[in-house]
Structure 1
Amino acid sequence: MPLYCSQRHENPDSSRFCHLCGEKLQAPVSVGVYAGLLLGDRYRVVRELGHGGFGRTYLAEDQNRFNEPCVLKEFAPQVQGTYALQKAEELFEREAGILYKLQHPQIPRFRELFRAALPDRSRLFLVQDYVEGQTYRALLDTRKLQGQRFNEAEVTQLLLQILPILDYIHSLGVIHRDISPDNLILRSADWLPVLIDFGGVKQIAATVASQFLAQSVGNGVSSPTRLGKIGYAPDEQLQMGVASPHSDLYALAVTILVLLTGKEPPDLLDSYNMSWIWRQEVSLSPKLSAILDRMLAQRPSDRYQSVREVLHDLNRYDVPVYAPPAPAPVYPPPVQTTAATVAVGRPPAPPEAAVSNYTVAPPPAYAPPSRGNSFGFGKVLLLLLVMAGAATGGWWLSSNWLGDLADRTPSAPPNEQPVVVPNVEPPAAPELSQEEQNRKEALGDRRRNLGVDYQFFVRLVNQVFYAQHSELQNRQLSAGAEDADLRAQWDQTANQLLDQLETISSEARSEMGKYDRNDRDRWRGSVNKLNLSTRALYTLADAKFFQLFPDQQGQDFVNQPIGQVWHAIAADELKAVQAGTSLEKVQFAQGSFSQEVSGALAPGEGKAFIAQLSQNQLIRLSLQADQKTLLSIYPPTSSQPPLLENSPETTWSGKLAQDGYYEFVVVSAATAPVTFQLNLAADNVISTPPSPVSPPPSPSPSPDSEPTPPAP
């Protein structure tokens, strides 16, 4: 692996001295000097991940969090003298405070700073989350072996995903200082890029070393702190230590050129004229070329001064409509790397890749993106690949319900903070006929009027379209005449889906693509307050969902884009339950041993009834309704299975096994409105209406298992 000196100059692993500054280099350590040690009475060191001028970085297990992986960054700058080290540690603690304030799902989450006593002396450690993934350097290296590079579509998408992160940190007065392919990692959890390895800690080490070197030679004048990678950082940062927002934008533009060309910065820069000569390596659209040129301007005043200026121009960017598809990246197991490649977060199962505006390498499964990711639906059919295969599991893994608090949980945990991504409306392509351009423009207008997120909608249409056209083998459509009929069918599928989504409330529609476990946890608490369980809520949601999408019955759709539609329906059902339109309490009148309730249901609608009953009580239930009306009876807790579940049976009688609120859910699977009458009779009825009580506690479901949803 590469070796770094205290100035962060990169050298081959065979080097003994830095080829730029001559500093003696330390040989890499395979597992690290602390491997196996328990630091801070909490963190068990697994192996070394990398090292640099400020210290080493380790993969560790957090003993207080069930051995969850995390990253330890040791602060051990190469400075001489107790006072110098003390000064460096003070600055380091201040820098750690700045990192702690950064709360963004695509930035390493800072956990804590602690001091550990070691044989030689005590040292400071910074703790961050660990995430499974690969750096863009590793992804590029893999593609180069295949004779491929990143294409314009992919790097534009990367810009749209990274620039909001920079805008966030710059708004807090933080400059990254070290953007490069090594410090961007594609997170396996959601295929979003994560910005890692902030330069502030390295800045401290370099600054203190420079200051005390000046004192040691007696001139009292410290040399400028030259932090940043040669070729990536602009001259004013390398020569004078000056870093500004436009310095990060400069380094980001260099990173984009490296990904596009596979060449290193010195190969793309005319050092004599100090001008970039990347055009001889790759051909880009004029507008993206102009954006990169301005980001790379030699004079800082000629560059974009803020991220928002770049985003403004990107919003007007004419997206190429048929960029050639890049090969799907190869993701081998994580390998030992340098400190610059450390990422953050828990390593979950990989979900679907973040969609590209133009071409997408098919991912394994879908996971909702961070809230706030929003793209406008353009005027052209974007040429996207649908998922090549979906991960198994989800709702259909378990043959039994796991209790009234059971949840339907996708494999990947949600992001915690919003990521703001600008709307990008690609213009019409000249290759398409005017009729098709008008059709797509009308489709885009309709999608926007309904408030459906663009990025989510493209995934949804692709899923349905390619399921209907399995003979295409997920082949990417072209903009040529040979695929005109298929593009028309794609548009027809999109319009049909919008017809179906119109039945969902505008509020729930606007959240599609963003629903996650936090929403379901919130729903669970809300229905429990009403003495209702989530499985009753889910039965109501299933009825409408399967009425709209009957082909999804028996399918594993929880990790698919269409699963987000189910979430939106469930959100609407929750509001109906809270409003009392879909939930009614059955209370027996004075001296009565039976109670009858009735109602009317539209196709896909349902209603839940609850009644407080007692153990060993005999009850009889009868339903008079259309034959396509289904009945479910749920006991108070998961210790008992459903008495009926989505059953066409119209009667049930028996002795109850426990006290509590029983749930009776009636749903319609008919294609026309139906009416129903539900009669509940019981012995030993309490004559006075019961006071509300909370349902008995239920065991929590296993996070790795899923209940089997009813199939109306």
Structure 2
Amino acid sequence: MSYCLNPNCPKPLNPENLNFCLTCGSKLLLKERYRAIKPLGQGGFGRTFLAVDEDKPSKPVCVIKQFYPQAQGTSTIQKAVELFTQEAVRLEELGHHPQIPNLLAYFTQDDRQYLLQEYIDGANLAQELDHQGAYNEAQIRQLLADLVPVLEFIHQHHVIHRDIKPENIIRRTSDRLPILVDFGASKFVSSASLNQPGTSIGSAEFVAPEQVRGQALYASDIYSLGVTCVNLLSQNSPFNLFDVTQNQWVWRHYLNTPISENLGKVLDKMLEIVPAQRYQTAGELLAALNLQPQKP
């Protein structure tokens, strides 16, 4: 099957191996090689499709991200363009890491922007939570052991992800490793720009307080990972896990199974409201978990 990428096509489904859509006449191949076969999802900035690379003998699967903003207003559209482009730039800057999707291509065709990246086969952690229920301590420790080194890697490359949450972590089917995806909100920082305010970006339930005010730090990603952990442990919205009247986390009240004091203290420090009281680096967090920090 081929799927037409023209957003206005009334009948996008086409037989396999055609080069042009039977309904609207649009090209079915991107860059004469990438063929969309089915839609995967749609968000505020664009649509994603499962595709095959017909330029290679094995025809490996990949993901097409098409820029197709739903928002209105010139400034909103400009910001959407910036974020879409930013994902391609960040993925290229980061280079290859086994737990970050590879960037395959970034280009414009028929006046639309496209980003091609490696397809990760697996369910995200929000889907996993819905399917299997709350995580236990061993699962959270394993998640941190597998994912904190990825944070360390991106931070060493001066990138703050800014949108860590269960939906942006996919557990790859082949090796069960968590893969960090969606770098559209990520930010490259220098020592000069780290303390300069910018745009507030991120998912409200998981975002660090300072990030809401437009100032993301490396410790902001650590906070969001901490929120992800207590969400997975409690199977509750992070909004329920924080007492706004007392300005403190109450996530322990929502656990079905208690966790060790050691892990509890680690999570508490990840979730500190004041950034300076959190772990400042992923290496510090690894040390607190009694795991060996990776060398730069």
Using structure 2 for the length normalisation, give the TM-score: 0.79
Judged with a 3 Å threshold, the aligned counterparts in structure 2 of structure 1 residues 42 and 261 are, in CA distance, closer, same or farther, namely: same
> Per-residue deviation at 1:281?
2.3
Structure 2 residue aligned with 1:155: 140
Instruction: State the match for 2:177 in structure 1.
Output: 192
User: What is the CA–CA distance in structure 1 between the aligned matches of 2:198 and 2:89, rounded to whole Å?
Assistant: 24
Correspondence 1:52 to 2:43: yes
Deviations 1:224-278 (A, max 9, x none): 633211221112212x222111111111011111111111101111122221101
Query: Given the superposition, is the C-alpha separation of residues 41 and 86 from structure 1 closer, same or farther in structure 2, using an over 3 Å criterion?
Result: farther
Instruction: Tell me how far apart the structure 2 counterparts of residues 225 and 242 of structure 1 sit (CA, whole Å).
Output: 8
* 3-state SS of 1:229 partner: coil
* Equivalent residue in structure 2 for 1:291, among 249, 261, 266: 266
Structure 2 residue 251 is the aligned partner of structure 1 residue 278: yes
Tell me the percent identity.
41
Compared with structure 1, are the counterparts of its residues 34 and 74 closer, same or farther at alpha carbon in structure 2 (3 Å cutoff)?
A: farther
1:261 equivalent in structure 2: 234
For 2:225, the aligned partner's letter is L
Distance 1:32 1:43 in 2: 21
Gap change, CA 1:311 and 1:129, over 3 Å in 2:
same
Q: Distance in 1 between matches of 2:158 and 2:12?
A: 35
Shift, 1:88, TM fit: 6.1
Provide the residue aligned with 1:176 in structure 2: 161
Of 197, 208, 217, 1:234 maps to 208
Q: Which residue of structure 2 aligns with residue 111 of structure 1?
A: 104
1-structure distance, mates of 2:175, 2:66:
29
Question: Which of these residues, 133, 136, 141, is aligned with residue 125 of structure 2?
Answer: 136
Map 1:461-476; keep pairs closer than 5 Å: none
Q: What's the CA shift for 1:192?
A: 0.8
Tell me if structure 1 keeps the 8 A contact 2:86–2:184: no
Q: Structure 1 residues 90 and 131, CA, compared in 2 at 3 Å: closer, same or farther? A: closer
Give the 3 Å change call, closer, same or farther, for CA 420–193 of structure 1 in structure 2: farther
Looking at structure 2, the residues matched to 244 and 191 of structure 1 have their Cα atoms a distance apart, in angstroms, of 29
Contact 2:269 2:279 in 1 (8 A): yes
AA of the residue aligned to 2:270: M
Q: Residue 164 of structure 1: CA displacement? A: 0.3
Question: What are the Cα deviations for residues 299-358 of structure 1, in whole angstroms up to 9, with x where unaligned?
Answer: 111111110111111118xxxxxxxxxxxxxxxxxxxxxxxxxxxxxxxxxxxxxxxxxx
- 1:40 paired to 2:31: yes
Shift of the 276–99 alpha-carbon distance from structure 1 to 2, 3 Å rule, reads same
Distance 1:279 1:87 in 2: 38
In the other structure, the counterpart of 1:531 is none
> Contact conserved, 2:87 with 2:184, CA < 8 A, in 1?
no
Change in Cα spacing, 1:127 to 1:237, as seen in structure 2 (3 Å) is: same
The letter for the 2-side match of 1:228 is: G
1:64 equivalenced with 2:55 (yes/no): yes
> Aligned to 1:267, what secondary structure does the other structure show?
coil
Task: Tell me the distance in 1 between the aligned counterparts of 2:282 and 2:123.
Answer: 25
Superposed displacement of residue 75, structure 1: 2.1
Letter paired with 2:171: L
For 1:294, the aligned partner's letter is K
Contact map agreement 2:53 2:59 (CA 8 A) in 1: yes
Q: CA deviation at 1:154?
A: 1.1
Residue-by-residue CA offset, 1:91-129 (whole Å, 9 max, x unaligned): 754652331122100001111101111xxxx11101001
Query: Does the 8 Å CA contact 1:108/1:196 hold for their aligned counterparts?
Result: yes
Aligned 8 A contact 1:79 1:85 in 2:
yes
Q: Match for 2:252: what amino acid?
A: R
CA deviation after TM superposition for structure 1 residue 285, in Å: 1.0
The residue type equivalent to 1:124 in the other structure is Q
Instruction: Write the mapping of 1:370-389 to structure 2, written as runs, cut at 5 A.
Output: none
Residue 125, structure 1, aligned to residue 100, structure 2: no
Distance 1:84 1:246, change over 3 A: closer
Matched-pair contact (CA < 8 Å) for 2:283–2:294? no
- Alpha-carbon shift at residue 54 of structure 1 (Å): 1.6
How far, CA to CA, are the matches of 2:125 and 2:230 in structure 1? Answer: 12
**2:24 match:** none
* Aligned 8 A contact 2:45 2:84 in 1: no
Corresponding position of 1:167:
152
Per the normalisation by structure 1, the TM-score is: 0.34
Q: Distance in 1 between matches of 2:11 and 2:249?
A: 43
**Letter of the structure 2 residue corresponding to residue 285 of structure 1:** S
The letter for the 2-side match of 1:129 is: E
CA distance in 1, matches of 2:66, 2:114: 5
1:67, distance to aligned residue in structure 2 (A)? 2.8
Which consecutive unaligned segments of at least 5 residues does structure 2 have?
1-6, 15-27, 188-196
The correspondence of residues 527-546 of structure 1 with structure 2, limited to 5 A, is none
Matched residue type, 2:124: T
Q: How does 1:431-446 map to 2 (within 5 A)?
A: none
Judge conservation of contact 2:270–2:279 (CA < 8 Å) in 1. Answer: yes
What one-letter code is carried by the residue in structure 2 that aligns with 1:150?
Answer: Y
* Cα offset, 1:40, TM superposition: 2.5
SS at match of 2:239: helix
- Say if 1:301 and 1:38 are closer, same or farther in 2 by CA, change over 3 A: same
Distance, in Å, in 2 between the alignment partners of 1:188 and 1:165 is 18
Contact 1:100 1:111 survives alignment (8 Å): no
User: Could you tell me how far apart the structure 2 residues matched to 1:153 and 1:32 are?
Assistant: 49
Larger radius of gyration: 1
CA contact (8 A) 1:72 1:126 kept: yes
2:284 pairs with 1:309? yes
CA contact (8 A) 1:35 1:48 kept: no
In the alignment, residue 190 of structure 1 is paired with which amino acid? Answer: D
| Displacement of 1:32 | 9.9
Question: What is aligned with 2:193?
Answer: none
Q: Distance in 1 between matches of 2:38 and 2:175?
A: 26
Give 5+ residue unaligned stretches, structure 1: 1-28, 204-222, 317-374, 376-418, 422-712
| Partners of 1:182 and 1:126 in 2: CA distance | 19
Alignment partners' CA distance in 2, 1:112 and 1:35? 24
Look up the SS of the partner of 1:125 in the other structure: strand
* Structure-2 separation of matches of 1:57 and 1:32: 18
2:150 aligned partner, one-letter code: I
Per-residue deviation at 1:89? 4.5
Question: How much has 1:84 moved relative to structure 2?
Answer: 8.1
